[in-house]
Every structure is written in C-alpha cells, then in structure tokens.
Amino acid sequence: MNSIHWFARLKILLRGDPEQMFAELLRSDRRAMIDYCLIICVGCGLYGFTVGIWRAPVQSLYTALKFPLLIFLTAAGNGLLNGMLAQVLGSGLSFRQTFLAVLMSFAIAAVILGGLSPVTLLVVLNAPPLGSDRNVTGHSVVLLTHVFLIAYAGILANRHLLRLLTRSSGGYGQARRILLSWLAGNLLLGSQLAWVLRPFFGSPRLAVQFFRHDPLRGNFYEAVGHALIRVFF
Amino acid sequence: MNIPPNPPKPPPVLSSRRQLVFEPMTGDLTPALLLETLLKRPGQIIYDLFHARKAALLAWLFVLGILGVSLYGVVVGAQAGREQIMIAPAKLGLAAFLSMLICLPSLYIFTALDGIDAEIRGISGSLFAAVCLCAILLVGFAPVAWIFSQSTDSVLFMGTLHLVFWAIGIRFGLRLIEAMSRFLGGHSTSHLKVWSAIFILVCLQMMTALRPIITTSATFFPVEKKFFLVQWWDCLTGTVDKGN
C-alpha cells in the first residue's frame, strides 16, 4: 500500500472523517507512527515553550522537552491496558491499532495547540512580568489561557477519537465505553506523570529546574487533597 | 394566436448573506476593481483565491489591507497631532500585520477542523480579504471619526468610537471568512466561530501592546505590560499613566 505524505495525514486528523481515519488505522504502518510522533513533538514542543516562558526562558526550553515526553510516556505506559480494554469492550482493534488510535488523538491535540502557540506567546509577552505589581493578574490570565486552550484541544481530539471508535466498533455506546475507559486510564497515569515531570509552568517562588529535587516524592492526588484541606479547613 | 415573448429573467440577488455568488472575477486586476469587488461581490474574490490562484490578488489584498488600516491611523493620530500623525498609522499597520501573522496558523487548523480541505494560500488570501474589507470600511468611517477627533479632547470617547467602528468593520470581515467556509463546503462553522473570537482578542491585545495610539508618549512602545481589559479599566477609572 502506498504511504501517505505527513501533511495529508495531518489533514486527515484535523478533518476527523471517520472513514479516512479508520483507513489509516487499518494501514497502521510504521511511517504513520513516526509521523504522529513527529507531529506530537513539534506541536507539543512549540506549545510547551510558551507554557514555560512566563517563568523564565530556560523553563520554556525545559517545558518544550517535557510536554511531548509526558504525552509519549502516558501513551506508552497505558498502551497495554488500553489495548486490553479495547479488546474486552469489543472495539475490534489490535494492540498496535489501539496504540495508533491513541497517538492519533494526541496528535490532533498537538496540532491544535501548536497552531495556537503564537496566540499564547502573545498573551505571555503581554502579561505583567514576575517582578511587577500586577504579577498575580499576569499569572492568573496566563494560567487560565493555558487551561482553556488545553481543555479545548483535548475535547476536540477526543471527539475525533470517539468518531473513529464508533466506526471501528460499529456502535456509539460501545465506542463511548471504550473512550471513557481509555480516558480514565490516561487521566490517572497522565496526572501522576505530570507530577513526576514537574515543573511545567514554574512556580514564581521556586527555582527553575528540569525536575524538582524529589520528583518521585508524593503524588498528584495527595497534593490536590492537601490543597483542598488548606482551602476549606 | 400570438405567443407572448418570454419575460427577461431577473438578475440574481447578490446582497443577501446566504446568496453570495461565487463566480470568477471579470476584468483586469486593478486595486480599484479589487476594492469594488470586495464590497459588492465578495464571492468573486473567494472564488478567485481558490481557483485562479493569482499571486497578485493575494499581494494586493495584503497591501491594501495594511494601507487602509494605516490610512485610518492618520485620523486616529490626528487628535493628538504632531508626531502621532505618523506614529498611529505605523502602529495600526503593524498591529494588523502581526495579528494576521499570529492567527494564520490557527485559521488553517480550525478550517480543517470544520471539515474543509483547503490550501494555505487560499486561506491566507481569505484572511487578507477579511482585513482588507475591514480596512475599507474603516476608511469609510474616517471622515466621521476625524470630525469627532477635532471636536473633543476625550481620549476615552474617541477610543470607544474607534473601537465601535473597528467592531463593525471586523464583523463584515469575519463574514467573509464564513463565506469561504460555505464556498469550500464546510459542514459547520463552529470552530471558525471560536477562531473569530480568538482573532478579535488578539487584535484587541495587539492594540494594547502597541499603545498609546491615540495620545502621545515619550516612548514608542509602552513601558508597562498590560492586558487590554486592565488597560480599559484603568482608562475608565482615570488611573492610566500618561503615555500608557
């Protein structure tokens, strides 16, 4: 079978036509996997750069490296589990196809975030800097912008993935169950990996580092729990 | 029996938003024809951008868009007078250019998300056409803005008036982007609506980043970084520093 150019592959992802995406999945050649990985590297790398730049230029380089790394580690770490869930829930997809489908959805989010990175860069460059009186406003606006855009990209990517799963499994209900099971696994592992790989944004009160001194100490859920206790009690 | 002749067919209606006629442009491409077509038959511009693929059309749309915005900038700067008559057009032209540059990648991605398979060249042309249409309308508003700028010293009032004129212009410009989506068979415009909101926010922030545009300042660029909402609030409450 003829291989598709990476740009045509990118268009297929963005348009989200389930038939074309399913054909991609059936082909599942090595070239496709490499292309999706490159798309994730570039898209998430560009966006990661704009995430870290408000804190410091060095932090932006660290985040540009760590953001794609987080995606790959999440996809790889859950690869086996996602493949099993897909088969148990009747998606009709092999382990390789499941991994490719997850990579496709991450690639969609990466393209959207990469395309929006000039916008976030503008926001960051116009945010009051750390040393100014209005740094709290700057921090909040930049943080909210990133939360909104990452959520938007994630929702779109999962909508396209749902369409693909509906096509492959033959039913919407089944596709939804598979997607939810994948999302639960990815959220569980992804949030902990993000905790281990912190800092991404970079706290204004802490030093700029690639990893914190004790990256494996504690976990994401404990930190959220402690934060909630501090707020309410 | 005499058979009555067939009555002539009425000309197609071109004015309605839903009935934009997408057909080739007629005549040689000149700036005057381009501006007239953009106002009266924008469907022809969209058609030529994706079918005729003339580089000159793209270039003219870009140049006329930046020139039009800069021309309006002369009126914006006229209130303060002196060097601001030169600075305001330069800043507004730069703001239009940078806003297009920042939003072009996301426009391409968001059109693809709406199910459209289009070339980046045509998408760029549509964005240039949208800004150009906005610029033409701003030039049309320029005499009105100038009259007001000469009769008031209130920066707040003039700022609001310029924003209202710009909002009207950009509304028509963004309709052109929607028309492009329909022309290319997009199944929805929901993502383009999100992009339109992003483009508007980028333009507003860009104007804040390059302030002051209406009043004079000791420095070309502002010394303090601000978001546009904070800047507007400071203007409303009168806490804005001179030159910021």
Q: What is the pLDDT of residues B148-188, one digit of tens each?
A: 888 888 888 999 999 999 999 999 999 999 999 989 988 77
Predicted confidence band of residue B222 (pLDDT cuts 50, 70, 90)? confident
Q: Report the chain B residue with the minimal C-alpha distance to residue A121.
A: B102
- Say which residue the tokens 């010293």 belong to: B153
Instruction: Tell me the three-class secondary structure of chain B, residue by residue.
Output: CCCCCCCCCCCCCCCCHHHCCCCCCCCCCCHHHHHHHHHHCHHHHHHHHHCCCCHHHHHHHHHHHHHHHHHHHHHHHHCCCCCHHHHHHHHHHHHHHHHHHHHHHHHHHHHHHCCCCCCHHHHHHHHHHHHHHHHHHHHHHHHHHHHHHHHCCCHHHHHHHHHHHHHHHHHHHHHHHHHHHHHCCCCCCHHHHHHHHHHHHHHHHHHHHCCCCCCCCCCCCCCCCCCHHHHHHHHHHCCCCCCC
- For the cut 50, the answer to whether the pLDDT of residue B22 exceeds it is yes
Distance from the Cα of A162 to chain B's closest Cα (Å) equals 15
What are A156-208's pLDDT values in tens digits?
A: 999 999 999 999 988 899 999 999 999 999 988 998 899 899 898 887 778 88
Mention every residue, 6+ apart, whose C-beta is less than 8 A from residue A65. Answer: A45, A48
- Contact criterion met (CB below 8 Å) for B97 and B66: yes
B241 CB neighbour count, 10 Å cutoff: 11
> Are the Cβ atoms of A122 and B198 closer than 8 angstroms?
no
Mention every residue, 6+ apart, whose C-beta is less than 8 A from residue A182. Answer: A78, A82, A85, A86, A102
- Contact criterion met (CB below 8 Å) for B62 and B128: yes
Q: Shortest CA distance to A167 belongs to which of A55, A14, A66, A24?
A: A24
Average pLDDT estimate for A75-82: 92
A14 CB neighbour count, 10 Å cutoff: 26
Window from A225-229, B135-139, B143-147, B208-212 with minimum mean pLDDT: A225-229
Distance from the Cα of A207 to chain B's closest Cα (Å) equals 23
Q: How far, in Å, CA of A103 to CA of A77, rounded? A: 12
Which residues from A are below 8 Å from B225, CB to CB?
125-129, 132, 138
Q: Shortest CA distance to B119 belongs to which of B55, B64, B174, B173?
A: B55
**Cis previous bond, B24, omega within 30:** no
A216 CB neighbour count, 10 Å cutoff: 9
For chain A, give the mean pLDDT.
89
Distance from the Cα of B130 to chain A's closest Cα (Å) equals 19
- Say which residue the tokens 């700036």 belong to: B31
Residues 65-124 of B with CB under 8 A from A: 101-103, 105-106, 108-110, 112-113, 115-117
For chain B, give the mean pLDDT.
87
Looking from the CA of A31 toward its CB, the CA atoms found within 13 Å total 12
- For the cut 70, the answer to whether the pLDDT of residue B1 exceeds it is no
Predicted pLDDT at B241 = 58
Q: How far, in Å, CA of B133 to CA of B118, rounded? A: 21
Per this entry, what is the length of chain B? 244
Percentage of residues in chain B with pLDDT exceeding 90?
A: 58
Predicted pLDDT at B5 = 56
Q: Which of A11, A116, A138 sits opposite B117 (nearest CB)?
A: A11
Residue A164 class from Cβ within 10 Å (0-12 exposed, 13-18 middle, 19+ buried)? buried
- Contact criterion met (CB below 8 Å) for B239 and B226: no
Distance from the Cα of B31 to chain A's closest Cα (Å) equals 31
Q: Shortest CA distance to B150 belongs to which of B166, B164, B139, B161?
A: B161
> Are the Cβ atoms of A126 and B108 closer than 8 angstroms?
no
Average pLDDT estimate for A139-149: 88
Q: Which helix (H) or strand (E) holds A106?
A: helix A95-126
> Are the Cβ atoms of A119 and B198 closer than 8 angstroms?
yes
- Contact criterion met (CB below 8 Å) for A71 and A3: no
Show which residues on chain A lie within 8 Å of chain B, measured between beta carbons.
Answer: 11, 14-17, 111-112, 114-116, 118-119, 121-123, 125-129, 132, 134, 137-138, 141, 152, 156
Predicted pLDDT at B4 = 54
Q: Shortest CA distance to A167 belongs to which of A9, A1, A26?
A: A26
Q: What is the pTM of this model?
A: 0.84
- For the cut 60, the answer to whether the pLDDT of residue B19 exceeds it is no
Going B27 to B31 to B33 to B34, the CA torsion angle's sign is: positive
Q: Which of A11, A122, A128 sits opposite B205 (nearest CB)?
A: A122
Distance from the Cα of A48 to chain B's closest Cα (Å) equals 16
**In this structure, which amino acid lies at residue A23?**
A
Q: Which of B117, B206, B225 sits opposite A15 (nearest CB)?
A: B117
Helices A135-169 and A95-126, interaxial angle, to 10°? 160
